[in-house]
Every structure is written in C-alpha cells, then in structure tokens.
A and B are shown apart, each in its own frame.
Chain A
C-alpha cells in the first residue's frame, strides 16, 4: 500500500470523518478519529521517507496521467509539512477527548470530530495536490470544516466569528479561482508543474501579473496577512480550545505553503522577484504585521485573543522570510512554519487546560497561577518565552535565520524591525508571566476539575518540543534546509 501513500494521507482523515458522521456513537467517535489520525501520521512519515529517497513522487489520481489528470506531487518540502500537520493533529486528537466533553454539548462532539478530520484531509490535500483547481476544492473543504469548528465554541459570538470568516474566506477563495482562471486562459493547463513549464515562453506579461496579484491576495486572506487578518482573532478566541490549537498550528501554515508554492514553483523566482513592487508590498506588510498585531496584542484582555493577535504577528515573520527570498530567509520561513506550529499548539493546549479546570478566559484571572497549577503555568511561560525568541527555545532559531537572511541582503531596517517586534512581544508576554508568577492568587479561581493526565501530557510534550528543537536543530533546521535547497531554490543554487 505504500506506493498509494499520496492518496491515502488525504483520504484516511476523510474516511474517518464519514464513518464518525455515519456511526455518531459517543465513545466510538474518538477512537475512530484517533485511528484515522494515526493512519494518516503513519503514511505521512512513510511518504516523507519516500520523498527523501526518490526524486519527486507523482501520483496520478484515477489513473489519468498528468497533465490531463489530477496529479499528486510530493517533494521534500510538502512531504515535510504533511508530516508536521498530521503529527500535530494526531497529538491534539489525543488531548481532545476530555477537553471536548467539557466544552461541547454531547450531541455536537461527533460533528466536531468529523469536521476536524475533514479539515485535516482538506489541508493535506492542499499540500499534496499538484493541480491548481484541485487545490481550490481542498481549500474549500478545509475552510467549510473550519467555519463549523469555529461556530461550535458555545459562545454566541463564535457564530458571528464563523460568519465573518465565511464571508472573508469565500472572497479569498473567489479571488484565488479568478487567478487560476487567468492562468488557465494563458497556458491552457491546470497542472501546476505543467503551468510552470509553459509560463516560460508566455509573452503576455500583464495578465500573468494580474493572476499573480489575484492569487496572492486570495491566499493572503486565508493566511491572515496583516491588513486581511480581521477574521482570525475572533475565530481563534471563540472556537473550542481543541479547535483553536488545531487551527493555529495547521490551517494558516498550509495557506502559507500554497503561497510559497505559487511564488517559487509555479511563477518562478525570476518572474516574481524581478518585480520590485511585489517584494516591497510583501516586506512592508510583513513588517506591519509584526508591529501592528503585536501592539494590538498588548492591549488585549482575553487570553486567547492575545495569542491570536500574536499569531498574526508571527505570520508576519514567516512572510518576511518569503520577502527576503534568499537561502537563509527561506530557511527562516520554513523553520518558523514548523516552530510556530509547535509553539502555538503548546500555548493553546495549555489554555485549554485552564479552561477545563477553572474556565479561565481573561488575563487577570491568571494571577497567582504559578502556585495553583504549576505545571500548566510552566508550560505557558516557556512557550510564551519562545514566542519572543529567547535563546534556547525554537523562536530563537527562526529569528536567527531571518536576521541572517536580511543581513545578507543588507537590509538593516528589517533587522531593526525584527528586534523591535521582539521587544513588543516581550511586553505582552511579560504581562502574562508577571501575573502568573509575581501576583497573589485571586480568590475567584478555584481549581474545579482535575486536569486529566493525557491533556497535561500532550501539553508538556509540546512544551518540551519547543525547548528541544531550540537546542537541537538537527531535525527541524536540517529538514528545512533540505526542503529549501532541493525544492525551492533548486535552480538558483
């Protein structure tokens, strides 16, 4: 079955989602979800190992050979992200059971698992497909599942957040399809690899540029790049804790991959980066995200919203690396996709523990948490510190590469911006750490529920990962290097 891994990684979660919806059993649903999550993880790792040992894996869906049929194209870069996403979502699934039965109504839990797996299948589909329109279909599958996940938080404002994201997400998908349509008119092909070959001898520069603009803006809405980020904070704040952890660690990262794929593998480095305006827009928006979102995060009182704004800022770091566009900058982006996924999962899972035990929503309720729940407090502290980029945590590694990349370009302004945004992060994280460790406990928090073992275990595991990958970069850094060297900059180097 291993040669069918490209189809299986996208199909197993979807099959799991269907079975859960059909059976709708209160205890079986978690087991089915866990099983299909495990299967996906297993095949994603096999897929990565295959992608390392072979050139590029091409899988013809339905036996129709590309470029006519839909091709699943796996290289070292997207195989790495597929593995990352399926591992993260499997770990979050282990955590999910107790947290969901606490936060959701009993009859909604099956739907949640089903939507979770459907979203996972959609995200993996976006990563693995080599077809422009198929990517759109998977984008819609994952987005529709996301809307449902966001609306299930139980808070009425969650419905509004879901509706807001529905509108924005649909606009984004529409812009993306318009861009794909333009490419299709120019080249007559929907296969991304085929397009990249055919674009080489296209003389119509203006429609090509228009399609680049449409696709970039469309995907930027899904990424929540700074001025288009309005849907993200509410969506993260009112979704169930498990949903927030899952979306924060996977969904935006996949959209970023799609953007990188278009810029580097479809349009090609030369076409995109000979365009000075494009680089300027990407760079300035990234810097604005790092500043603007961090400043807004400082003034938040809702805990999840604060970290949601910090997510917008961190996405700025990733797109900054895309804008820097040299070897180190791209490694910075790739490593930060992995690192930020781990950090945000750790933080939101820890917040999920707090919601479980004592319904903590606001920051001032954190006072004295260090004494009440030392384990969770340590997890939040460490993972928040890695958001700043303290040496010894993963955040430092990504920032190191980004600084190296911008120094190579001679962009001192960007280096300065990176430093200042780290200070801004220090301010909002500092508030939390001060409240947790240096304030007397508020009488209003009484630890009501004992946090189950598996929730603590997964949270601690993620926190340890933020330190481990910050010290030993052999795994994350080297895999990112291989991905960037072999896939993105294959021709430049």
Chain B
C-alpha cells in the first residue's frame, strides 16, 4: 500500500472529474453524443477505479454493495413510472407529450426522465457485476 502513493494521489484528483464528466454526458445527451448508458458506464468506471486503487474492503465500505443492488431495479422503476404517468393522463404508454403542457416540452422532460432511469440502472448493474467478480471467494 505504501508504494502506490502516486497512483492514489492521482486517482483522487481524477475521481471528481470522472464523476463530473459522467453527469455532463448524462445531461448533455439530448444535445450531443451521450446518454444514460454511456454516463452510467463512466460513473461506474469511477467506482471501479476507486476499488482497484484502494482495495475491495475500503471501496465496499465507502460505496456499499447494497446501494448498487438497489439501484438496478430503481432505474427500471423510474423508466416505468414515466410510462405510467403518461398512461394516467390518458395518453399511450411512454408518450412524453403527456408530461407537460406543451408537447415539445413534454418530450424534453420525458427523455431526461428515461435517461435518468437508464443511468441509475447501468451504474447499479455495472458495479454489482464488478463487485460480484472481485468479491468471489472472499466469503
């Protein structure tokens, strides 16, 4: 642990930027390249980097596995609830026009909500898979 001082310091510097870039890709998704999946993978890459540098034990204490396991269905729930809201307003399932007074505005909100769901699920599943692999044989 002593020898990798350089790695630890530089990854600590990098981590906030990785997370920030993930959010940039997330919210810039409807103007430029990007979207929930890519943003989720970048975010998860940040957590994975942290685990590689600081060890599984510390990472799982700081980012408990339970949270990520919970995030997998949570994202799908966000997705479905968006669909159900349009359903409850009398529109077809996942019709974003229902989400705001102006259809165009509704489409914007809809995309953001859906991508948020994808983002949450992708982070959850990526990190869960990673934790499942690195945690093998420990218990």
Contacts and interface: CB of A to CB of B under 8 A. Distances in A.
A291 to B, nearest CB: 44
A22 B87 contact: no
A4 B77 contact: no
A14 interface: yes
Contacts of B95: 62-63
Interface stretch (B16-24, B29-37, B50-58, B66-74): B66-74
Contact of B92 (A17, A18, A63): A63
A428 interface: no
A84 interface: no
Interface in A219-265: none
B83 A18 contact: no
A8 to B, nearest CB: 8
Contacts of A8: 87, 93
B92 A59 contact: yes
Contacts of A18: 73, 76-77, 80
B115 interface: no
Nearest to A6: B93
Main secondary structure of the interface of A (DSSP, over half): helix
A7 B76 contact: no
Interface in A370-392: none
A7 B73 contact: no
B92 A7 contact: yes
Interface string A1-26: 10010011001001101110110000
Main secondary structure of the interface of B (DSSP, over half): helix
Interface residues of A, number: 18
A62 B92 contact: yes
B128 to A, nearest CB: 12
A81 interface: no
Interface residues of B, number: 18
A288 interface: no
A60 interface: yes
Given A61-B94, A62-B92, A63-B97, A21 B80 contact: no
A18 B76 CA distance: 7
Interface string B71-108: 01110110010011011000111111100000000000
Interface string A85-123: 000000000000000000000000000001000000000
Contacts of A15: 80, 84
B74 A22 contact: yes
Interface string A58-87: 011111000000000000000000000000
Given A4-B87, A4-B93, A61-B93, A11 B72 contact: no
Nearest to B76: A18
A7 B87 contact: yes
Contacts of B93: 4, 7-8, 11, 61-62
A345 to B, nearest CB: 28
B65 to A, nearest CB: 14
B78 to A, nearest CB: 10
B76 A62 contact: no
Contacts of A17: 73
A7 B83 CA distance: 10
A478 B118 CA distance: 45
A14 B84 CA distance: 12
Given A4-B87, A7-B87, A15-B80, A21 B73 contact: yes
Given A21-B72, A21-B73, A63-B97, A4 B92 contact: yes
A14 B70 contact: no
A11 B80 CA distance: 8
A18 B80 CA distance: 9
A60 B94 CA distance: 10
Nearest to B79: A18
A14 B80 CA distance: 9
B80 A22 contact: no
B53 to A, nearest CB: 31
A4 B87 CA distance: 8
A15 B83 CA distance: 11
A59 B87 CA distance: 13
Contacts of B72: 21
A62 B103 CA distance: 12
Nearest to B93: A7
Contact of A60 (B70, B73, B77, B92): B92
Contacts of A11: 80, 83-84, 93
B80 A63 contact: no
Interface of B: 70, 72-74, 76-77, 80, 83-84, 86-87, 91-97
25 contacts: A1-B87, A4-B87, A7-B83, A7-B87, A7-B92, A7-B93, A8-B87, A11-B80, A14-B76, A14-B80, A15-B84, A18-B73, A18-B76, A18-B77, A22-B70, A22-B73, A59-B92, A61-B93, A62-B93, A62-B96, A63-B94, A63-B95, A63-B96, A63-B97, A114-B73
